[in-house]
Amino acid sequence: MRPLVVITLLVLSIVGCAERPWHGIVRSPADPAPALVLAGAADLPVTRIRLDSFRGEVVVLYFGYTHCPDVCPTTLADWARAKRALGADTTGIRWIFVSVDPTRDSPAEAHGYARQFDPAFSGTAPTDAELALLLKDWAIAAYPEGDPRTPDYTVAHPAYTFVVDADGRFRLMIPPGVRADDIADDLRRLR
């Protein structure tokens, strides 16, 4: 190996180590995000989702349910704070809440729920068939607990916020509890 190459590699590795850490979990390799295609409500186009149509934007995704009393609203409130931390320019970032409880949540309900946290957020809900497909494609778990015939069942769902970069790659998983400023910091770097 030529000395110049060695030196270059050495410098690169030092620079690499000095790079400030991400707050979310970086996916490596950053493979293309799985498909996410949801028909939504015919009379509410914002609930129709085709993830690959958002190329050029960072997409922040959460899979939850509107009857969630604790974890989902905490996460969406953290998103809202992160969005505010980004300041006036919040273009280039799309925030989407996807219900994994189609029995109780319509696309319109999920959208109304997400918008309570920030008017720029959108929400939707899949059909049963779309849900089965998205759980498989994203390799995630979501399932009702308790008696699903009663109104009071709960839903186990993914804990992380998923972030897809502007090139459509699944880049980050943000665990619950990451501070809003730190979420904003990661998103700023991806945008």
Q: Is 7 in the site for another protein (CB under 8 A)?
A: no
What is the phi/psi pair of residue 59, to 5°? -115, 125
What is the residue whose two structure tokens read 């690499």? Answer: 16
Which listed residue (95, 97, 160, 170) binds another protein by CB under 8 A? 160
Residue 95 and residue 122: Cα distance in Å, rounded?
Answer: 6
CB 112, min distance to another protein, A: 9
Residue 117 and residue 27: Cα distance in Å, rounded?
Answer: 27
171 residue type, one letter: R
Nearer to another protein, 12 or 25 (CB): 25
The phi-psi region of residue 92 (left if phi > 0; otherwise alpha if psi is between -120 and 50; otherwise beta) is left
Nearer to Cu ion, 19 or 70 (CB): 70
Contact positions vs another protein (CB under 8 A): 25, 66-71, 73-74, 77-78, 81, 116, 140-142, 145, 151-152, 154, 156-160, 173, 175-181
Contact positions vs Cu ion (CB under 5 A): 69
